[in-house]
Structure 1
Amino acid sequence: MKRLGLITASLTLVASSVLAQEPVVGTWKTEVGTTAAIDECAQGYCITMKTGNNAGKRIGTFRGSKGNFTGTIVEPESRKTFNGVLTQTGDTVHMRGCTMKVICVSLIWTRL
């Protein structure tokens, strides 16, 4: 009976950690057709390119919850860093960031 209790407690911990995961975690299709993964990391949430010329490169870090995040994203080709916001609604991620508070870009990604 003790063993059954231990197994039940373990399953409860696993289930609660899965339920607590932010919906932003997952694989996303970028505007140019490549894919990127958003995963939990020490900095909060990290964006890593999965396909294309920059596959394997971490290009962003964000902190926040409930679909509203702030952080930075690096444009891999120009290597410019943009500070901004990431909002996630359903199967869409919107990112808006600025560099030097003058040059701003917006991106929209869809969940795969």
Structure 2
Amino acid sequence: MSFSIQNPFPGIDFAMSLDRRVLLIDNRVMELTITTLVHLIHVDPDVNMARFYGIELQPTLFGEVSVLRTWGRIGTNGQAMMVTYNNEAQAADALQKLEKKKRRRGYVPVGE
């Protein structure tokens, strides 16, 4: 007994099905021109303070850029918040403002 494969839908070209089309699409990941990762800490043993603050830029799937902020007590997972901007310049500006604000409040880069 032999079997022959026949196309049950003669008007559809299965050679160009959606599964095959995926291979033809350019799947480049958005790359940021500025790769900024800021890790700040504020340690004051006199008042039992040991805090961290992290800021970084993350591309989104829609061509925007998010500023991811993490903060909390050193040794914990802390909290996180993400704010999305239309372009990298706006996000980088927001990151610099946040870093400047935290440095004024006594945070210093890790290792300083």
Point out the structure with the larger helix share: 2
* Higher relative contact order, chain-length normalized (CA < 8 Å, sep 6+): 2
Point out the structure with the larger strand share: 1
Q: TM-score of the superposition, structure 1-length normalised?
A: 0.37
The structure whose Rg is larger is: 2
Q: TM-score of the superposition, structure 2-length normalised?
A: 0.37
